[in-house]
Amino acid sequence: EMSEMSERSKQNVAHGLAWSFYVGYLKIVLPRVKKSMEEFSRANPNLPACRKTWKLHILVPLSCDIYDDLEKADSNIQYVTELTETILARAGIKKRVYKHSLYAIMDEENQLWHCAVEYATPLQTLYAMSQDECAAFSREERLEQAKLFYRTLEEILRGSKECADTYRLIAYEEPEEAETHFLSREIVWHLRQEHHEEISVLEQSQPPSPSTALDSAELNLQISVSDLPQPLRTDGF
């Protein structure tokens, strides 16, 4: 009876998608992300290196509207290269390839920020279900499922020791009126937070001098040193 109730209310859809995304993909690739980023950094010593950004940045648009080409979503996002591939035998598939794309994100001051970023692909399933009559998924139900997917994935990853400090969830609601560079600004906001976190950690590891102690204290009051995904910068769910 409980199973039928859950099926009718579709409560199990987002929950199952989040677990599948974690077990079938993130748990495999996330522990290898830092190594790939380190290899890229060594091969490109001319680019600024911020170790706190050496993560997989996972976009979670609550609209479930996903672009296959990030450069078309925002012209301030430019593809750079592919990171080192991970090749495994998986579910009968020999030499299955897992890889991530590295992008350069331009901010409002024309500064470039480099990071590995991609969408949470299960959201494509939620969007497709809302377009299919057989699934009987309304737009409102899709939004609720997207929120549930995000909360479930966040909880799963928070409890995963293998994936600690290897990811950042970027959940967002797109503005009602289209903004040309909304997505790049959203990503850069998170990259700046990570950059400030690295500075904060470095400052805490050194004895403060009298001239900088106040500045360091003020900085630490404003910036979280947590590596867990930050909450949405909205009024919440």
How sure is the predictor about 224, in pLDDT bands with cuts at 50, 70 and 90?
Answer: very low
Between CA 151 and CA 145 the distance in angstroms is 10
Residues of the chain with pLDDT > 90, as a percent, come to 52
pLDDT for the residue 215: 39
3-state helix, strand, coil in the chain (%, to 5): 45, 20, 35
Task: Identify the CATH assignment for 54-204 out of 3.10.180.10, 3.40.47.10, 3.40.50.12100, 2.60.40.1190.
Answer: 3.40.50.12100
Spatial contact of 74 and 216, defined as CB atoms under 8 Å apart: no
Tokens of 202: 């470095």
Lowest-pLDDT choice from 113-117, 135-139, 172-176, 205-209: 205-209
Q: Is 80 exceeded by the pLDDT of residue 197?
A: no
Is pTM beyond 0.85 here? no
Tokens of 73: 């979503």
Q: Residue 166's closest CA among 29, 14, 24?
A: 29
How sure is the predictor about 77, in pLDDT bands with cuts at 50, 70 and 90?
Answer: very high
- In terms of average pLDDT, the best of 47-56, 69-78, 129-138, 217-226 is 69-78
Domain spans of the chain? 54-204
Between CA 157 and CA 6 the distance in angstroms is 24
